[in-house]
Chain A
Amino acid sequence: MEILIDALLQGILMGLLFALVALGLNVIFGVMDIVNFAHGEFLMLGMYTAYFTSLLIGVDPLFALPVSALTGVLLGLASYYWFIKYLLRGPAIAQLFGTFGLMLFLRYLAQFLFGIDYRILQKGVLIGKSFSVGPFIFDATKLAAGVLSLIAFAVVYYFLNKTKVGKALQATSLNKEAASYMGIKTDKMNALAWAIGGGTVGVAGGLLINFYYVYPTVGLLFVMIAFACVALGGFGSIKGVFFAGLLVGILEMVFPVFGQLIGSDFLGPHFKFTIVYLAYFIIVVFRPQGLFGWKN
C-alpha cells in the first residue's frame, strides 16, 4: 500500500514536469494549429544548455535555469521566423513534415555537436540530497523540479489570463481573423507562442537534467509524453494539459508498481511508456476532446 502511495506522489512530481513540457506544445498548437514535432528537441537542447552552462561556468544547475529558458525562447523564435513562417503557406501535410524535419535536424545537430554519450549533472546544491516526509523519501532534485514546474506553469497561466498580451494570445488562438481585425497582429502572436513554447520547455530541460540523462534522442520520448498529455487534456486546453500531465505522471509511476503487486513479470517497468502511447491512441480515437474538452 505504501509503495502505491509513494508511486502516486512520485508520479505527481513527475507529472508536474510533464505538464510543463506539454504546456509549450499546447500553446503553439492553440495559437497556430501546428503540432511542433521538434518540441522534444527543444527540451533536449535546453538540457544540454543547462548541462554545459553548469559544467563550464561552474554555476549551480539552478542558476543555469535562466540560461536554458533563454535558449528555449531563442530556439522558438528562430524556428518561427526562419522556418515555420514559410511552412504556413503550404498544406497541413507540409507543416507536419516540416516540423518533423526540424526535429530530425536538431536531433542530429546535437549528435554531431555533442556526440552520443549519455550525460547527467553530478554536482549541485540539490543533487544527491533527499527529503523525507513521513515514510516517504523524495529526491531533492525531483522535488525541486516538481515545485518549480508548478511555479513556471502558474506564471504562464497568469500571463495568459491576466495580462493584456496574454489575453491577446488567447484571442488569436480562439479566432485568428477576429483578433487581427481588432489590431492583434497574428504574426507577432505566432512568434510569442513559439517563444513561450520554447522557453517553458527550456526550463523543463534545465530541471530535468538534474536527475535524468541527456542524449541526442531523448527528445522523442518526451515529445510523445507531451502529445499524450495534450491529447488527454484536450488539444488547446491549458487547464486540461495540467491535469493530464499529472495523470500521465501518475500512470507512468504507478503502472510498474501495479505490475509488481500483481506479480506479473510481463507488465514491468519497460512498458510504462507503452501505456502512455496506448493512452494517447485510445483517447484520441474514443474521446477526441480529451478528458477536459476543447480549447477553453
Chain B
Amino acid sequence: MEKLKDALDFSDFSRAEQIGLIIFSIFLLVFPWLGSGSFVKAVMIQFLLFSLFGMGWNTIGGYGGQVELGKAQYVGIGAYTVALLMVWLNIPFWISMPIGVLIAVGYSFIIGYPLFRLKGHYFAIATICTSLVLQDIFTNWKLVGAAKGIELPIHEHPDFLYMQFKSDNYYYYFIMVLFYCTLFYMNWFRKSKLGYQLRMIKDDEEAAESLGIDIRWCKIKTYSIASAFVAVGGGFMAVYNLYIDPASVMDLDLSIKIALMAMLGGAGSLWGPIIGAAFLVPLDRFLGSWLGGHKGLIGVDFMIYAALIMVVSAYQPRGIWGIIEQFRGKGK
C-alpha cells in the first residue's frame, strides 16, 4: 500500500511541476477528441512510446549513472516474443507480453553479470556489442524470419485479446496507459530503497559500499528493470506496426535515439526522458516528412540531432532539464 502511495505522490515536486503534470495529463486524455489528423496522432503515439523507452533507459542510464547504448536489444526481445508467439501459437498479447518481459529480464541478468564489471566507455561499447551480436543473430536466423522479419496476421475486428484495432485511438489510449504505468513506477522507483542506493553510489561509491550496498548487484537489478519496461514497449510496437524486423526493432540507431532522448531531456530526472521525447519525436517526424520530399536533404534531420547532442554535451550535460534547473536554483 505504501508503494502505491509513493507512486502517486508527486508532492516533493514544485507547484509549477505539479500543475504542469496535471495540464499535460488533461491534454493527453482529451487529445484524440481534438480532431487532429492521423499523422499527428501517429506522432503522439510515437512520443508516448519513446517516453516509455526513455524512462526505462533512465533507470540505468540516468539514476544508475551508466550510459548504455544497447537498449534496442530489449525492444527486439519484447517485440519478437509477442510476434512469434502469436504467429506460431496464436497466443494472445496478454500472455505473450509477460513472457517477453520475463525473457528480457532473464537475458539482462545473464549479460548484466559480466557487463557490470565495466564502467564508462568500456561499458557503453560493450552494450553496443551485445546489441549488435543479437541483431546479427536475428538477421541471419531463418527460424525467426531473418532479415525479412515477421508479419503479424491481421484480425478483422477490434480485438482486446490480441490488441489489434483498426482505429488508432485504441492504440493511443493503450500506450497512454502504459506511459502512466511507467511514470508512476519511476516516481516510486526514485524514492525506493534501490533509488536511494543508486543515488548514494553516484554521490560517493566508497561510502555506499561501507553502508552495505552491493554496487554491482544494484546496477544489475536496475538494468533488468530498464530492460523490462523497454521490452513492453517492444511488444507494443509489434501489435501496433504489425510488422517487425531486426532493423526496425533491434537496430543501433534505435538504441542511440532512446539514449539520446533521455539524455537531451535530462538523464537522472523524472521528466527528462519525457521532455527529450517531446522535443525529438516531433522533430524527427515532421522534419523527416518535410525533408523526405526533398531528396537532396536526406540526413539533415539527423545532422540536427547530432549537432544538438554535441552542443548539449559541451555546455549542459544534464540536458534540457538541467538548463531549466539552472534557472531555478536546485531541483529534483
Contacts and interface: CB of A to CB of B under 8 A. Distances in A.
The reply to whether A and B meet directly (CB within 8 Å) is yes
B117 to A, nearest CB: 5
Contacts of A35: 121, 125
Interface stretch (A68-76, A108-116, A140-148): A108-116
Interface in A40-82: none
B314 interface: yes
A216 B128 CA distance: 19
B247 interface: no
A58 B129 CA distance: 40
B303 interface: yes
B201 to A, nearest CB: 14
Contact of B129 (A111, A112, A280): A280
A95 B67 CA distance: 11
A96 B132 contact: no
Interface string A253-296: 00000000000001010110110011011001110100000000
B60 interface: no
Contacts of A227: 125
B313 A104 contact: no
A94 interface: yes
B115 A101 contact: no
Interface string B118-133: 1011101110111011
B140 to A, nearest CB: 5
Contacts of A90: 313-314, 317
A118 to B, nearest CB: 15
A136 interface: no
A168 B137 CA distance: 46
Contacts, number: 129
B302 interface: yes
B299 A109 contact: yes
A102 B314 contact: no
SS class of chain B's interface: helix, strand, loop or mixed? helix
A87 B309 CA distance: 12
B120 A100 contact: no
B129 A224 contact: yes
Given A97-B309, A285-B117, A112 B298 contact: yes
A202 interface: no
B317 A91 contact: yes
Contact of A112 (B300, B305, B312): B300
A109 B300 CA distance: 7
Interface string B245-286: 000000010001000000100000000000000000000000
Interface in B275-332: 296-300, 302-303, 305-310, 312-315, 317
B306 A105 contact: yes
Interface in A209-255: 216, 220, 224, 227, 231
Closest 6 CB pairs of A and B: A101-B309, A111-B299, A105-B306, A94-B317, A104-B306, A98-B313
Interface of A: 35, 83, 86-87, 90-98, 100-105, 107-112, 115-116, 216, 220, 224, 227, 231, 266, 268, 270-271, 273-274, 277-278, 280-281, 284-286, 288
12 contacts: A35-B125, A83-B314, A94-B314, A96-B124, A97-B313, A100-B309, A104-B306, A112-B299, A220-B252, A224-B132, A277-B130, A285-B114
